Amino acid sequence: MEKLLQTPDTTSNILMLNESFHQAKIEHYLKRAEEYLQMARYSKALKTIQTVFALDEDNSAGKSLQKRVEYYLDSIGQSRRRLESNNGTPDSHLRRKRQELVLIIDQDERVLTTLVSGLRKYGFEAIAAAGYDEAVETLVSYRPDLVVSEVNFENGPVGFDLFLWVRTNIATQEIPFLFLATRIDRDMLIAGKRLGVNDFIMKPLDEALVTASVINCLARRKKAG
């Protein structure tokens, strides 16, 4: 059998292919990190940026993305501190900046992007997750003022499991909870009301309706408190 010889040209072509594949991976992870940032899935964005740095530790686009993620997280941190210092009441002079943090959980990335953008337009801080585990991690780290979650996730625990987790933890049990659902039947409403779900919102979503529901729920909580 004739032995295949590797010429300088074939070696060069293999190196070029390897470099192209390496660069394509970097670009893929950068794109995903940008998408996670737009969804406000900040922990996911940071983890993806770290994958970029593992491929190219001095990647300038990755460093720029990291700074943007850290900017949003710092903004959330400042809002948390202001609310705590004012006993949960937003600064009155910050009319456009409500400071309350809303956690949105939905497996549809388009829903996350749309709702995050809409809430920000009304001055809210927003953070998001795509499933149960990511939501719990976010709840532990940031303790939002309100949770908006879809009822069913394709994989793992469902929305009612997340709701029960929130209600059975001392640090989160007072957080208002809204459900998003494609179908709301009588049994779901009865179960939700008995458990203490604050409200249900039908899909497909109306951005203005979701925002109005968030504002109304927070106002009721403030009045009750």
* Residue 94, pLDDT score: 43
Q: What is the per-residue pLDDT across 11-69, written as a single tens digit (0 to 9) for each?
A: 776 767 778 899 999 999 999 999 999 999 999 999 999 999 999 999 999 999 999 99
**Full-model pTM:** 0.85
Domains of the chain by range and CATH? 90-224 (3.40.50.2300)
Summary mean pLDDT of the chain? 86
Average pLDDT over residues 137-156: 87
Q: Are 46 and 69 in contact (CB under 8 A)?
A: yes
- Cα dihedral 195, 196, 197, 199, rounded to 10, equals 130
Pairing relation of β-strands 125-129 and 101-105?
A: parallel
CA 140 – CA 212 distance, rounded (Å): 26
Tell me the C-alpha to C-alpha distance, in Å, between residue 168 and each of 68, 84, 192, 218.
34, 22, 15, 20
Q: What is the per-residue pLDDT across 189-224, written as a single tens digit (0 to 9) for each?
A: 777 777 778 888 888 888 889 999 999 999 988 887
Mention every residue, 6+ apart, whose C-beta is less than 8 A from residue 199.
178, 179, 213, 217
Average pLDDT over residues 102-128: 94
- The distance from CA 207 to its chain's CA centroid, rounded to whole angstroms, is 16
